Amino acid sequence: MKNKLFFIFLLCLFLAACTQAYTPEYDNNGQLTLLIADMSHNGDIDLADIGLLASAWLEQDCGLSNPCNGADVFSDGGDGYVDFRDFAVIANVFG
């Protein structure tokens, strides 16, 4: 059941990523600003970020000793879990 839900999650995220245009944001000095859901730090929300989220899916105790691939993006500093709240943050970027 867990694998089926995970597959559905990835499919929904993939379809959202393929159907939305995304423009990176730049600050006043022309420097690329890193977005909260940009786990790969390339200035774009892309399949690399989805892969990092997927590889850390349902991990717990995220923090300094266990960064969870940077996928714990819900709230400032994360909430310690990689779950649907983190997915919602990424979905908000696309929406």
**Percentage of the residues of the chain whose pLDDT score is greater than 90:** 15
**Residue 87 identity:** F
- Residue 17 contacts residue 24 (beta carbons within 8 Å): no
What is the structure's pLDDT at 23? 44
Does the global pTM surpass 0.85? no
CA distance 17 to 93: 10
pLDDT tens-digit map of 45-72: 888 888 889 999 999 998 888 888 888 8
Instruction: Of 10-14, 43-47, 67-71, 79-83, give the range with the top mean pLDDT.
Output: 79-83
What is the structure's pLDDT at 20? 36
What is the structure's pLDDT at 91? 79
Cβ contacts of 57 within 8 Å, gap of 6 or more: 6, 9, 71, 82, 83
What is the structure's pLDDT at 81? 92
